[in-house]
Structure 1
Amino acid sequence: MANPVIIPATAAHTATIIFLHGLGDTGHGWATTLAALKPPFAKLICPTAGKIHVTLNGGMRMPSWFDLKSLDPSGVEDEEGINKAADAIRKIIQEEIKAGIVPDRIVIGGFSMGGALALYVGLSTPPTLGGIVGLSCWLPMHKTFPYGGAGALQRPPLLQCHGEADPLVHYSFGMLTSTLLKTQLPKYTFKSYPNLGHSSSEAELEDVKAFLKDALPQLSS
Structure 2
Amino acid sequence: MLIHGLGGSPSNWGPIVTSFQGDPELQHVKWELPQAPLLPVTANGGAVMPAWFDILSFDFNTEEDKAGMLRSLRSIDAFAAAEVAAGIPSERIVIAGFSQGGGMSILAGMTSARRYAGVSGLSARRAKLRQMRSEHATTLPVFWGHGTRDPLISFELGVSSAAFLRDELGVPTTTLQSADLRGIAFNEYRGLVHAVDDRELDDLRGWMQRVIPQMTALGS
- TM-score, with length taken from structure 2: 0.86
Instruction: Give 3-state SS (helix, strand or coil) of 2:150's partner.
Output: coil
**Aligned positions, number:** 201
Instruction: Determine if the alignment matches structure 1 residue 164 to structure 2 residue 148.
Output: yes
Specify the code of the residue in structure 1 equivalent to 2:171: L
Asked if the contact 1:133–1:160 (Cα under 8 Å) also holds between the matched residues in 2, the reply is yes
Does residue 161 of structure 2 align to residue 177 of structure 1? yes
Q: Map 1:58-77 to 2 at 5 A.
A: 58-77=45-64
Contact 1:110 1:118 in 2 (8 A): yes
Query: Is the contact made by 1:22 and 1:110 (CA closer than 8 Å) also made in structure 2?
Result: yes
Q: How far off is 1:124 after superposition?
A: 0.5
Q: TM-score of the superposition, structure 1-length normalised?
A: 0.86
Could you tell me whether the CA contact under 8 Å between 2:137 and 2:171 is conserved in 1? Answer: no
Given the alignment, which residue of 77, 92, 99 partners 1:90?
77
Alpha-carbon contact 1:116-1:140 (below 8 Å) kept: yes
For residue 140 of structure 1, what is the aligned residue in structure 2? 127
Is the 8 Å Cα contact of residues 39 and 54 (structure 2) preserved in structure 1?
Answer: yes
How far residue 153 of structure 1 moved from its aligned partner, in angstroms, is: 5.0
**Relative to structure 1, is the Cα distance of residues 123 and 148 closer, same or farther in structure 2, using a 3 angstrom cutoff?**
closer
Q: How far did 1:145 drift? A: 1.9
Q: Which amino acid aligns with 1:185?
A: V
Contact 2:37 2:51 in 1 (8 A): yes
Q: Cα offset for 1:146?
A: 5.6
Alpha-carbon spacing, 1:160–1:209, altered in 2? closer, same or farther (3 Å): same
- Aligned match of 1:37: 20
Q: Which amino acid aligns with 2:213?
A: P
Matched, 1:127 2:114: yes
Residue 19, structure 1, aligned to residue 11, structure 2: no
Letter in 2 for 1:157: P
Q: Which residue of structure 2 lines up, in the alignment, with residue 11 of structure 1? A: none
Tell me which residue corresponds to 1:79.
Answer: 66
> Paired residue for 1:214?
210
Matched, 1:193 2:189: yes
Per mean C-alpha deviation after superposition, the further-off stretch among 206-215 and 27-36 is 27-36
Amino acid at match of 2:141: P
- 1:73–1:173 CA contact under 8 A, matched in 2: no
- Superposed counterparts of 1:107-126, under 5 Å: 107-126=94-113
In 1, Cα distance between equivalents of 2:141 and 2:42: 33
CA deviation map 1:1-45 (0-9, x unaligned): xxxxxxxxxxxxxxxxx0110111100111331332251111001
- Residues 96-129 of structure 1: per-residue CA shift (max 9 Å, x gap): 0000001110000100000001111111111210
Deviation (angstroms), 1:154: 5.5
In structure 2, C-alpha distance between the alignment counterparts of 1:165 and 1:107, rounded to whole Å = 27
Distance 1:137 1:51, change over 3 A: same
How many angstroms apart in 2 are the aligned matches of 1:182 and 1:211? 20
The amino acid across from 2:196 in the alignment is S
- Does 2:197 align with 1:204? no
Relative to its length, the structure with more strand (as a share) is 1
CA contact (8 A) 1:126 1:153 kept: no
Q: For structure 2, list consecutive stretches of 5 or more residues without a partner in the other structure.
A: 173-182
Gaps of 5+ in 1: 1-17
